[in-house]
Chains A and B, each alone.
Chain A
Amino acid sequence: MLNNSFQDPGLSHKILNQISEYKKELRIMEVCGSHTMAIGKWALRKLLPPNIQLISGPGCPVCVTPVSYIDALISLKSLTITVFGDLLRLPGSLTTLETARAQGLDVRLVFSPLDALKIAQKQETVFAGIGFETTTPGIAHTIRLAQENNITNFSVLPAFKLIPPALKYLLLADDVEIDAFLLPGHVSAIIGSNAYSFLPAQFDTSGVISGFEPLDILLAIKMIIDILESGKNAIENEYQRVVSPSGNLQAQNIMNQVLYPRDACWRGLGIIPASGLAIKPEFSRFDATQKYDLDISYYEPPSPCRCADILKGKILPPQCPLFADSCSPAHPIGPCMVSSEGSCAAYYKYER
């Protein structure tokens, strides 16, 4: 049953035909897990001509969360740990939260940080604060609520990540080849399309902000082609029904009030300058790293996982020798196999 016009087969095929007229090699990186999922779900790679390659970048917040973060959560034995669903199966250095839960750790799945705050009214609770600009404002808001209502049982273990510094990092790395970005609709709704103006200005790279329906993505690809053909790099916005040039100022304000930029470790990529957000000193009693003296020293144990190359777009998941062999969603070795939005998991599910 078609529930909206952005899934219209006729229109989609019309755009696909226009895209097929472009004969040059084109490597487009998407940096949003929801795009990875939508591309897999609609099997768009099978509809696109082979010269147009869609590469999945570091767009899944779970996949880029370091091992030490999971270890730190698992070390919190006597309190309640609240997490978003897909963090449960991310491997730490010894085990996952899912297995630790089976051994008695009090881990609860929540849909919103506000649920965690509710639990904190009864018992000491930590919320696993992971996410990009999309989820972070809600968590910052929850920290402020805890402050206002003096809910001292509540804290957040921060591993917030920012998209623009990651794009910069990818473009500076000399082993990454990307012609253009498919920019994330949800993140852009918060930060606004102006946040990407550095791409054409400093890196001669273009990008189009896209929604998540198949027609959105196909249109955005067509817009990328048009930009490249015009010979003048630019940022364009396919998702104008949601994304404005300056973004959601209220959400930006709340993030600025509670959090500040700091270097952050991305699993597989390493430390990226000013690519994370930490909790400001005024709110330090809600910062789990301080409250429980947690060391998230971002130690990455040696691993045969090739996620780093996948996140940089150098190889596709099936090119990892462990893919679908010793690494599968039941027993993920690397983070990209954990979250349903991870490139390896999406490939495992949709494109084998």
Chain B
Amino acid sequence: MPLIINMKDKIITLAHGSGARLTQKLISIVFAASFNMTELSDYATIEHNMVVTTDAHVIKPLFFPGGDIGRLAVTGTVNDIAVSGAVPAYLLATFIIEEGFAVSDLQKIVASMQETALEAGVRIIAGDTKVVEKHNAEGLYITTTGIGFLPPNCHLSTSKIALNDNIFINNFIGEHTIAIINSRNQLNLNPPPCSDCAPLNHLIQKMLTCSDIHFMRDATRGGIATILNEVFDDCALGIIIEESALPISSPTQAISDLLGLEPLYMANEGVIVTFAASQPRQLLSTMQNHKYGKNAARIGYVTNEVKGVYLRTSLGSLRPLPMLNADPLPRIC
């Protein structure tokens, strides 16, 4: 494994789990190199039409406005499958539980998983349970593996993205991150901001039938900006995002300004980024008619005006929107 030499970091820090550049580096240098993987994707297509993915869920606190770790464990994996164009069908779930965890809390979380699975139309078919000693885990971790099936002739990929494609998102950005920051740090915002955590597979299926969609991705860790940079890394086509078109709720904007954080880099749990050949009106109205697409907007386009990912500020100036190395830290004043 000669590549390991390029890894300056000797130990894993939280920054390696941020979803940004350092995570990418860890995956490519440690995992992809050893597993002989050519693509760093979080899902894989096997047997022509079967899509599988797996996702580990660790979140503090376990219950938050708008969801809980159970709902998250279902939506995260359902959405990962759905953005490939496949129809999610089955989930497997593994629970790692810390000694001392309340059974009543576990029941609440499992009930929430079942409710979310019903909403998404998937079945939870198998799983595993492990209990670890006190302090060896924080409450509960859940890993879910999902299986879905691709409809005939459905193939979404960054290689299909073309000049003049429009870029859409379905919802306000940053809501999940702000909800978590608020509950984790007891900022006591009133009303408490709600996570956007939702299964998007039904919305995605509607979008796929009405429009020529080239590529989709759910904007979780690292946020919209990270995905756009991954797209650029893959297809080398320039991207311009219009700041004035970004759907950001005013509480999210206000809190972000206060903490020096940018919503474009925040994790979402109910936002997908979509690249589609231009006919914005039809796709937008399909999205806006769905409960998880009410705030849908066209936020930018693919272009050869720039090399890389750029933001056009509301003042008209262009600035780069690079991939970050790690999670941005809240600043001091």
Which residues of chain B have C-beta atoms less than 8 A from A331's C-beta? 8
Which residues of chain B have C-beta atoms less than 8 A from A234's C-beta? none
Of all chain B residues, which has the CB nearest A112?
A: B185
- CB pair B315 A9 closer than 8 Å: yes
Judge whether A283 is part of the interface by a CB distance below 8 angstroms: no
Interface set, chain A 306-352, CB cutoff 8 A to B:
328-331, 339-341, 348-352
- CB pair A86 B244 closer than 8 Å: no
Interface set, chain B 278-327, CB cutoff 8 A to A:
313-320, 322, 324-326
Contact code string B1-20 (vs A, CB < 8 Å = 1, else 0): 00000001001111100000
Segment among B89-97, B122-130, B245-253 that sits at the interface with chain A: B245-253
A42-B315, A46-B319 given as contacts; is B329 within 8 A of A99 (CB)?
no
Interface set, chain B 252-291, CB cutoff 8 A to A:
253, 259-260
Of all chain B residues, which has the CB nearest A138?
A: B333
Of the candidates A9, A34, A40, A329, which one forms a contact with B324 in the assembled complex, judged by CB atoms under 8 Å apart? Answer: A329
- CB pair A47 B333 closer than 8 Å: no
Which residues of chain B have C-beta atoms less than 8 A from A110's C-beta? 185
Which residues of chain A have C-beta atoms less than 8 A from B11's C-beta? 99, 102-103
- CB pair A330 B21 closer than 8 Å: yes
- CB pair B317 A46 closer than 8 Å: yes
- Within the assembled complex, what's the spacing in Å between the Cα atoms of A89 and B313? 29
Segment among A74-82, A128-136, A241-249 that sits at the interface with chain B: A128-136
- Within the assembled complex, what's the spacing in Å between the Cα atoms of A62 and B317? 29
Of the candidates A1, A40, A135, which one forms a contact with B247 in the assembled complex, judged by CB atoms under 8 Å apart? Answer: A1
A102-B13, A352-B322 given as contacts; is B333 within 8 A of A1 (CB)?
no
Judge whether A41 is part of the interface by a CB distance below 8 angstroms: yes
- CB pair A115 B317 closer than 8 Å: no
Interface size, chain B (Cβ < 8 Å): 36
Of all chain A residues, which has the CB nearest B312?
A: A43
- CB pair A43 B319 closer than 8 Å: yes
Interface of B is mostly: loop
Task: Give the bracket for the number of chain A residues in contact with chain B.
Answer: 35 or more
Judge whether B330 is part of the interface by a CB distance below 8 angstroms: yes
Judge whether A291 is part of the interface by a CB distance below 8 angstroms: no
- CB pair A98 B333 closer than 8 Å: no
- Within the assembled complex, what's the spacing in Å between the Cα atoms of A310 and B248? 35
Of the candidates B21, B244, B313, B332, which one forms a contact with A84 in the assembled complex, judged by CB atoms under 8 Å apart? Answer: B332
Contact code string A17-38 (vs B, CB < 8 Å = 1, else 0): 0000000000000000110010
A86-B332, A88-B329, A102-B13 given as contacts; is B315 within 8 A of A341 (CB)?
no
Q: A47-B316, A102-B13, A340-B329 are in contact. List 16 more A-B contacts (CB 8 A).
A: A9-B314, A13-B315, A34-B260, A42-B317, A43-B313, A47-B317, A102-B12, A109-B329, A111-B259, A115-B185, A132-B333, A339-B329, A340-B260, A340-B328, A341-B331, A352-B322
Residues on A lying within 8 angstroms of B by beta carbon are 1-3, 7, 9, 12-13, 33-34, 37, 40-44, 46-47, 61-62, 84-89, 98-99, 101-103, 109-111, 115, 130-132, 134-135, 186, 214, 328-331, 339-341, 348-352
The 5 lowest CB-CB distance pairs between A and B, nearest first, are: A85-B329, A43-B317, A330-B325, A43-B319, A85-B330
Q: What are 17 A-B contacts with C-beta separation under 8 Å?
A: A1-B246, A9-B315, A9-B316, A43-B317, A43-B319, A46-B319, A85-B332, A98-B15, A102-B14, A103-B11, A111-B185, A134-B333, A329-B324, A330-B22, A330-B326, A340-B331, A352-B320
